[in-house]
Chains A and B, each alone.
Chain A
Amino acid sequence: DIVVTQSTDSLAVSLGERATINCKSSQSVLHISANKNALAWYQHKAGQPPRLLFYWASSREVGVPDRFSSSGSGTDFTLTITSLQAEDVATYYCFQYYSIPWTFGPGTKVEIK
């Protein structure tokens, strides 16, 4: 099974500052033939279902603000919030769908400093 890890359990960032979340998979999630990484990012706020932010590592879901960006390939990925807003307080999960069983990272809780 592919194990997905995230570099930190929690992160406290000042409003307007940058938040960076790192994600690592235990093996590459790159589909070589399609040249696409089977990696997604979800935002999860308390009391709500999770919200997809990015899929194929860097394709932005409709409606996601452009202060969110995603990059990476192979085994290492990064989600960046360039200017943190109060409504961005949530837990962020990376998620690999390269091979069954699909697996989520443990989550990174983003809070306001």
Chain B
Amino acid sequence: DAGITQSPRHKVTETGTPVTLRCHQTENHRYMYWYRQDPGHGLRLIHYSYGVKDTDKGEVSDGYSVSRSKTEDFLLTLESATSSQTSVYFCAISESNRGTNYGYTFGSGTRLTVV
């Protein structure tokens, strides 16, 4: 979607190697999220950020770390990739979590394969 980009779009990596996925936004939104999508599980929240250097864990955070040093960038790192982390990763942004008009915008996804 316009305003949010994920990189890389596809990546194949070996077990045990570190991997970093990047989410970049141009909307100046406060909130950013990382999800993983697996068949039969829908999307599950990994980590989220509510401001620069403010992050917290989601439902499936084990094996993942995140960093947000600038408003526009939210990085997801797999310190030592495992085959169970083969998945499609989606980033999302949200301007406001209050009121009735807030919404979420999703990136196009990163397909990660760990071999």
Partners in one complex: no
